[in-house]
Structure 1
């Protein structure tokens, strides 16, 4: 059996109480009877993450799908109150192990995942943990305080008042030294500030387990030290903090409490950081003087000194051997923190001396007294209705600040409307310009289709990394996000479409009859919503580059079957069915019928000869004599519903692939 399967609460408390006063830094003052003692006394608050015989297998090859193990029956336990580093060379399996422990990767995994020595329930564990990914996927147009407010409204249940949520936001931002930047938009933050904000967003729900993927990636050495120091402060409150790290400096390396080293899918060491070099020396692997121990570990794991992976994995019993866990003290990490403290005092790096990140126990359960506020209960902290409300507010705020989604779209529609209206001025009331009027209507279909499609295709894919992070960390359900993003963009698209349609309708002097005006405007809106739906679908399955290239194939092939270039009766009999599924045909028919159909009278002719004095003659030549406006509306509405449902399922598949 293991020498130390689980750290007991009493041992964790002794770990902190036995620390010499000279080593208790002011970076995180701990009250004698404060929240930390509550962590130590309440066993439910301590979450020890364990795993036994975990193997992860992938399939390689296109035709012959050969299995390959990235992890090979590894074992281990990461205890509450410890800052754990998972290290190893590229391809060793450290990120894979992190993803499995966080629940981010589930397929292809065998073995047991444990919490406090027992099989863990994934749903419960996900509520008590969070995963902060390598890239800081934040909404760039929100300020720090706005981002925290949105997160608080989604992650804290409705039983907490607005004042209580704002108090907690202020505590966290002060704790990580971001309060003075609360009005700064996230795209203006430095790399270290973005990393701290990512941590602050997840601290709102007071998670017991925190996973970090390469938290120092992209940061300079001083900011990296500050970031790791913050993680150590968080771990000292009794949380389980686990992170992957690639090649830390010697000072940062010494700040970790626990090291888990992997090589070629095996665990080659788990224990205290200070125990690493004595452990390697027993295998005749002596670190050269003045050499970074972290670099030396990576060199050994990479085979620079020979293949020691099998021997070291047997010595560590593939993670089961806990002999080196408490064998060495980790005092140098406090010297490192003292050195950082001196640097902060001298002004070399940004100080982090704010109040400690300690909170009273706050659950995300549903208050029985306020249960009537909710539409229904769910696995998320807040109700489905509240999620939609908060996400709608956030989306409207983002749209109002996004030049592409709002200002550029409206100005483009306005500019083109006046240009086309001037170009085709007065064509709607003269029989000699019926063909020009038809060209104007076809241009309207294509313009509304392309602009609505491109606006969504070029912006929606950039949201996917943010959706992935927030949805995985249980901020909201995918249904509520999709419904909010769909509803929020419709008003802007409708405003832009109506501006174009109204201006061009009256400048081209179409008939001023209420039902014709309404029919024309309504069909223009339907056309733009169809294109917007296609944009959502393409944006959900492709990135921006591929979406711009392949996206137009959604509707450009149907252009030839729109009735503008070739009429139905003139086409090959085997090709006529394509006209009946071409939404461009129905959109063009709807616009033509709205201005020329429904028994419109004889048109005035200002030329020597007008072939289409009677609109019915033109409709007959265009194979639209039997066309029905209601049929076009039903087809377009059905297509909008179908594509948007398909886009939701495509988004679900895309999110599952990423997780």
Structure 2
């Protein structure tokens, strides 16, 4: 069955168990066993006589009452699927392997070989063309120059100034079927690129050379995406969907592949050999070949073996919506591919966020330690092999593993290891205002060196999964942002998640140094290595449901922890050299509690350790004599003005290095200006006819809506991302809401001003409005404040809504209303009196009023409409525009801009849509 892919992958999540076979069948019989067997045999015989298609859509299902009934596989309900899985895989950690062996036994019994894939890669090289130096930073200037240079390069006028960057260099090897291969390497070593190249999903902008084959076939001979699956290290999901819906949708999209054909052949051979399969296994395999179902038994099975059944009907969530945990979200990412028919799975850091009892423990591989020992480096007894392999190639960590004490140590480079193998086979806002600039910079430098960020000091942070820093670099930066505040107490939520062993060791060294200075650190960690686990002094262990099962000291080599749990009757002893963290999580799992018949919560609450902990808490809760209460003169470390300046500085660099927003907006403005200028060429000087006046007014009306809506729409996703960062930084006590709002509003002023000037100069000259300084500046004034209030309106809609998707929907509704009441489609004098009030509340109406009356409201020249009235009089009689009202209009337009900015600031302070 093609589902072997999912079976093999899911088996990696098992924990070895020596427990006896569990008999999950419910013995509820009202008649004799012989009668039951005879009836079931008759039903099965009738089933075997059906045509192949019908036979594969029907099965014999045992009900909760013990009755064997013929059912249609396509109509298998939720309760029936649940009972089926309860019999097959009641406890995933113990029963999953038995279930897989049953499936394999059925297939082997009729001599069917499961389809497998052998992936070969020969002399694979991946290169990228990149700018270096200052041109690599995506600033407004470099972005514009790169576009022009790229255009000239395509015309072969100017040679390319990009440099070749090698990502993978001459990589060869074989990935054999039915085996798990571990890919190790430090950050930026090309692991993700390598997996993407093998999965056929490499970025087309990268240059790939060499050969990758699947069973001898090149990539262009088949569709690799339907044969292999790449599981990303980034967990990107629709937050509003539940876990079950997410996996179900993925299963429907991927289909069943060749499972149906394999099952048809299996059924045919069993019929010829008069073999009756296990009814439950038969139903499962038939259900796994059924396409188009919203919920399938494969989805339910995947949820169970990944430990997601407890949150199957919970929304996945995201940065703003409370949902499942980070570790569960990582498993959802894996499950999305496991429910499909892929036969080769390329998994990029799938264990990030999973604890050791959930992740399959990959043991030492043959000869790898012997190889490094032959080079003079030995893995210590209490050291994980994977951790050792990551650190032994690091210049900073390599020397501690040098085993040849009689020989001098010299650093061995990665290139030398490769050759041998071939022959072998955030501080400004957080520190107190009393700290001067020199000291602050020195402290920042020290923190950067501690977390090894100095080589990346000029690198852009970027967006997760898009650009900028890698996952582990981003994690180190997050920790550094908090460390520069020099806090007394630090709460770290999974500080090592997403980090390799070396990076995690760097982080924990930094944390340990922080503790040694007298500060308190509390960490949550999913899968600690021995080194990381034993770096802590105290352990607070909880089980599912938020209940304590151990609170106390670890002791030397975790001696206190081991002594406590080994004293509990039935708990197996820890093996020599085994990771105490892994052992602890395994013996306290829910399955182990059921097996031992022990509630570890009750055991702890009845222990001396619990009583000592409670007594210590009561003692420490009492303040000591002559102690002063903590007092801070202000809530934030810096003054309001300093917060504003710091936030403005950050926004400056954020906007300057975000050309997809800033530069593209300018490009769009210039294009629109040229289109309008050529379309309404020289109409501004022609105002004698009504149609010419209407055309000139149409150019103003179209520009306001085109550019205004574009500004409002483009700023929404930018502000939404900035707001997510703001929530974290405000919670960390870096600054308050108003300095952030001030910076967000202020940074738009120069960009919108430049946009208005660019547009105004081009359009004013091409349309041919009257060439007086006063009228030109009135035109710029109204265009500037109009673009500004549209921009602030887009920001405001984000501030009052949970996300920019809802913000764009709300904003679009008002765009339509503003369009209707702008005074162009229906002039104010012709709007029904009961709706005329909204005309005065429409910002676009005031903008159009100001633009028209500033250009045509004072022209005394007579029109050629036969009514013997001047342009000024026509504008007044038809549109209701008075030139004397120009000053009031200007004040209102500026006031609307201030109003939207004020609502944005207040909303940012009052509303918090982050439900986490």
- When the two structures are superposed, what TM-score results if normalisation uses the length of structure 2? 0.46
Q: Which of residues 162, 166, 172 in structure 1 aligns to 2:447?
A: 172
- Alpha-carbon shift at residue 321 of structure 1 (Å): 3.6
User: Conserved in 2, the CA contact under 8 Å of 1:211 and 1:241?
Assistant: yes
Give the CA deviation at 1:298. Answer: 4.2
Deviation string for 1:492-518 (max 9, x for gaps)? Answer: 111111211222112111112233222
Alignment CA distance shift 1:658-1:475 (3 Å): farther
Q: Say which SS state the counterpart of residue 628 (structure 1) adopts.
A: helix
Q: What is the distance in 2 between the residues matched to 1:319 and 1:574?
A: 78
- 2:450–2:510 CA contact under 8 A, matched in 1: no
Alpha-carbon distance in 2 for matches of 1:588, 1:280: 78
Give the direction of change, closer, same or farther, for the CA distance of 1:251–1:173 in structure 2 (3 Å limit): closer
The aligned runs of 1:394-409 (5 Å cut-off) are 394-409=650-665
Give the SS at the match of 1:238. coil
* Partner-residue secondary structure (3-state), 2:526: coil
1:500 matches 2:759: yes
2:675 corresponds to: 419
Give the structure 1 partner of residue 708 of structure 2.
449
1:472-511 pair list within 5 angstroms: 472-511=731-770
Q: 275-284 vs 410-419, which deviates more? A: 275-284
The answer for the alignment partner of 1:218 in structure 2 is 498
The one-character-per-residue Cα deviations of 1:565-616 (angstroms, maximum 9, x if unpaired) are 223343444333322211111111111111111x3122687xx999997342
1:436 aligns with 2:716: no
Alignment match, 2:789: 530
Matching residue within 597, 601, 613 for 2:860: 601
- Give the greater-gyration-radius structure (CA): 2
Equivalent residue in structure 1 for 2:780, among 521, 534, 544: 521
Instruction: Please show how residues 217-236 of structure 1 align to structure 2 within 5 Å.
Output: 217-236=497-516
Q: Distance in 2 between matches of 1:565 and 1:318?
A: 80
- Aligned residue in 2 for 1:645: 902
What is the DSSP-based 3-state SS (H/G/I as helix, E as strand, rest coil) of the residue aligned with 2:503? helix
Q: Distance in 1 between matches of 2:599 and 2:823?
A: 74
Give the total of aligned pairs. Answer: 465
Alignment of 1:111-510 (within 5 A): 151-187=426-462, 188-263=468-543, 264-273=545-554, 274=558, 275-287=560-572, 293-295=580-582, 297-298=584-585, 302-306=589-593, 311-317=599-605, 321=609, 378-430=634-686, 431-432=688-689, 433-510=692-769
In 2, Cα distance between equivalents of 1:316 and 1:91 = 28
Give the 3 Å change call, closer, same or farther, for CA 504–320 of structure 1 in structure 2.
farther
- Structure-2 change in CA distance of 1:564 and 1:284 (3 Å): farther
Pick closer, same or farther for the CA change 1:500–1:657 going to 2, 3 Å: same
Task: Tell me whether 1:566 sits opposite 2:792 in the alignment.
Answer: no
Please tell me whether the aligned partners of residues 458 and 548 of structure 1 are also in contact (alpha carbons under 8 angstroms): no
Going from structure 1 to structure 2, the CA distance change for 1:612 and 1:415 (only over 3 Å counts) comes to farther
Give yes or no for contact 1:271–1:324 (8 Å, CA) kept in 2.
no
SS at match of 1:154: coil
The match for 2:257 is none
Note closer, same or farther for the CA distance 1:611–1:441 as it changes in structure 2 (3 Å cut). Answer: farther
Pick closer, same or farther for the CA change 1:603–1:499 going to 2, 3 Å: farther
Q: Distance in 2 between matches of 1:157 and 1:250?
A: 37
- Distance between the aligned counterparts of 1:473 and 1:518, measured in 2? 45
Cα gap change, 1:309 to 1:477, in 2 (>3 Å): farther
Q: Is the 8 A contact 2:712 2:790 kept in 1?
A: yes
How far apart, in 2, do the equivalents of 1:285 and 1:518 lie? Answer: 87
CA contact (8 A) 1:155 1:205 kept: yes
Q: Which runs of 5+ in 2 are unaligned?
A: 1-306, 311-321, 323-352, 354-425, 463-467, 614-629
Conserved 8 A contact 1:262-1:301: no
Cα distance change, pair 609–288 in 1 and its aligned pair in 2 (3 A): farther
Shift of 1:198: 2.2
**Rounded Cα–Cα distance in structure 2 between residues aligned with 1:318 and 1:240:** 28
Please give the secondary structure, in 2, of the residue aligned with 1:553: helix
Deviation at 1:303, TM superposition (A): 1.9
CA distance in 2, matches of 1:232, 1:287: 32
Q: CA deviation at 1:319?
A: 11
Against the structure 1 CA distance between its residues 404 and 595, is the aligned structure 2 distance closer, same or farther, given a 3 Å change threshold? same
Quote how far apart the aligned CAs of 1:365 are.
11
Counterpart residue number, 1:37:
none
Q: Distance in 2 between matches of 1:300 and 1:413?
A: 65
The whole-number CA distance in structure 2 between the counterparts of 1:585 and 1:192 is 52
- The structure-2 alpha-carbon separation of the partners of 1:611 and 1:506, relative to structure 1 and needing over 3 Å to count, comes to farther
Partner Cα separation in structure 2 for residue 183 and residue 631 of structure 1: 49
Query: C-alpha separation between the residues in 1 aligned to 2:660 and 2:868?
Result: 44
Give the unaligned 5+ runs of structure 1.
1-88, 93-104, 106-133, 135-150, 326-363, 367-376
Structure 1 residues 185-238: Cα deviation after superposition (integer angstroms, max 9, x where no partner): 334433333222222222223212111111122223443344334323332332
